[in-house]
Amino acid sequence: MDVHKGRLDATGMRIGIVVARFNELVSQPLLDGAVDALVRHGADEEHITVAWVPGSFEIPIAARTMAEQGDVDALVCLGVVIRGETAHFDYVAGEAARGVAAVHATTGVPAGFGVLTVDTLEHALDRAGGKHGNKGSDAALAAVEMVKLLRELRRPRAAARQAVS
C-alpha cells in the first residue's frame, strides 16, 4: 500500500494570505490565528504576504493574482459572512467558496478556505479564537498540509518520467 500524508511543516514556505475587511472585528483574529499557526509550524514571517480586500466577494480575484504571480507556495483565504447582515449572504458566501476552489483547481496552488459562513456575530467570534477554536489557524494548516502532500504526489511521477526517458 502506498499512503501519502502531508506533514505540518511550513519551513521555507512562502504563503499568501487574502483576508476580507468586512466584519474586521472577526477577520483580524482569523488573520492573527493563521499567522500564529504558520510561524509555530516553521514559517518565517518574512515569507508571509497579506492582502486585505474589501469583502469576501473580492477574495478570489486577489487569491488568483497572488497564485499567478508564482511566488507563493500556498494561499490562505479568510473572511466572515454573517447571514443576519445580508440578503445576499448566499451569493457572497457561494462566490467566495466557488472562486477560491476555482483558483486552486486551475493554478495548482493549494488554498486553505477560512471564510466563516455563520448566522450571528457570536457564532463568528466562537470560531475566531473562541470556544470553537480558530478557523484561520485551521485553514493555514490545511494549506501547509496540502503543499507537502502535493509535493509528495508529484515526486514519484517525476522519478517515473526520468526512468523512461
Taking CB atoms, the residue at the shortest distance from ligand INI is: 55
3-state secondary structure 74-120: EEEEEEEEEHHHCCCHHHHHHHHHHHHHHHHHHHCCCEEEEEEEECC
Regarding 113 and contact with ligand INI (CB under 6 A), the answer is no
Nearer to ligand INI, 33 or 79 (CB): 79
Residue 5 per-residue DSSP state: -
Contact 142, 10 (CB under 8 A): no
d(CA 149, CA 125): 31
User: 10 CB contacts (<8 Å, ≥6 apart)?
Assistant: 38, 41, 42, 43, 144
Contact 112, 140 (CB under 8 A): yes
- Applying CB under 6 A, the site for ligand INI has a residue count of 15
d(CA 66, CA 44): 18
Nearer to ligand INI, 14 or 55 (CB): 55
For the question of residue 88 being annotated catalytic, the response is yes
Regarding 84 and contact with ligand INI (CB under 6 A), the answer is no
Among 30, 72, 77, 81, binds ligand INI (CB under 6 A): 81
Regarding 86 and contact with ligand INI (CB under 6 A), the answer is yes
Nearer to ligand INI, 9 or 95 (CB): 95
Mark 18-47 with x for binding to ligand INI (rule: CB under 6 A) and - for no binding.
--x-xx------------------------
Q: At closest approach, how far in Å is the CB of 48 from ligand INI? A: 21
SS3 49: strand
Kindly list the catalytic residues. 88
Positions touching ligand INI (CB under 6 A) are: 20, 22-23, 54-58, 79-82, 85-86, 92
